[in-house]
Structure 1
């Protein structure tokens, strides 16, 4: 069975699909066979993005499929090196089941307390209530603005928890949304500065994956 990585949240809007797509591309660039399991039945963000990617002829290719059943999605892991689960827009009982089946759980969050607090609560519940090892749960800062003070406060907040914070916050950039429109990920945007910042975050996640597999 291939590895299973999930990108989950307690509420909508933290950038789950952004992280899932970029991680998928990063792994595929290293010749992994990658599939994104899209659990957002209403928006199908990752699935529609993969369609745009294929239509644009972008390489490397990734697969994507919408799922409402976790066992059905997990069976796909037998056919790929990595199955990346893009979770639903809000936490549910399935969220915990996905996390328990994952080799790494990534929880993206914005920088304000309205985002940080529920994300930290979800991480603690997954660990304390559902038994997901703390080392398999990480935070990723997304939708960052231009305020160094806000970023510093958000980092300090998350570092008080027992879970690791990945490097390289992803900022809100037009170049990212334009890349997504074309079927590209944030690590493929032509804009060098934003691309390098996105690469820092995704490389941090890849490094964590490598640490857990040693």
Structure 2
């Protein structure tokens, strides 16, 4: 049976694909057989990212496929060690469906209340659908700002019953450049931003291991 992770959001632009790609490359680098299920069939950004990755001969290669429905995607989940749902731009019944099948639900959020509040609403809605609160976690992504702003945002989420992954991925040109080249944020050119992304990913992996063990 494969490990299934859903990266979902209440609205577009939160960085679901950024996190999906980072998780995928981390596990694939450890010799896991990984697939990203891209549920944004209108844009399929993760699928086009894979094409750039292949064209630039970047390894490891990550399998990516666009799916029109969760049911269709889940039929293929057991063919891989890790199956990652890169969620549609906005929350829907499909979001609930994939989350019910997941070992971990990742909700990316920025630091502003305009990001935090919808993220908490989504987590609450998933919980009301019967999804275990322990499986839901927040990850700070595109979270540029001062340490004070970051700490205030973290304190806000700490008041919820959901897990908050330590660290943050900021909005940096080198991250955008990495993804333009078919890389993930953990494969960025410069050491310091790469290491900051690594911290977030390691904390997320630690959370997965806590839940699955």
Q: Same fold judged by TM-score > 0.5?
A: yes
**Number of positions where the alignment pairs a residue of Structure 1 with one of Structure 2:** 213
* Secondary structure of 2:168 counterpart: coil
Partner of 1:118: 118
Q: How far is the alpha carbon of 1:45 from its aligned partner?
A: 1.1
> Are residue 80 (structure 1) and residue 91 (structure 2) matched?
no
1: distance between equivalents of 2:102 and 2:139?
A: 17
TM-score, length-scaled by structure 2: 0.98
2: distance between equivalents of 1:204 and 1:73?
A: 27
Matches within 5 A, 1:50-199: 50-127=50-127, 129-199=128-198
Matches within 5 A, 1:10-89: 10-89=10-89
User: Unpaired runs of 5+ in structure 1?
Assistant: none
- Contact 2:109–2:143 at 8 Å: present in 1 too? no
Kindly provide the CA deviation profile for residues 93-146 of structure 1, in whole angstroms up to 9, marking residues without a partner as x: 11111110111000001110011001001101101x211111100000011123
Kindly provide the CA deviation profile for residues 64-113 of structure 1, in whole angstroms up to 9, marking residues without a partner as x: 01111111101111211011000000011111111101110000011100
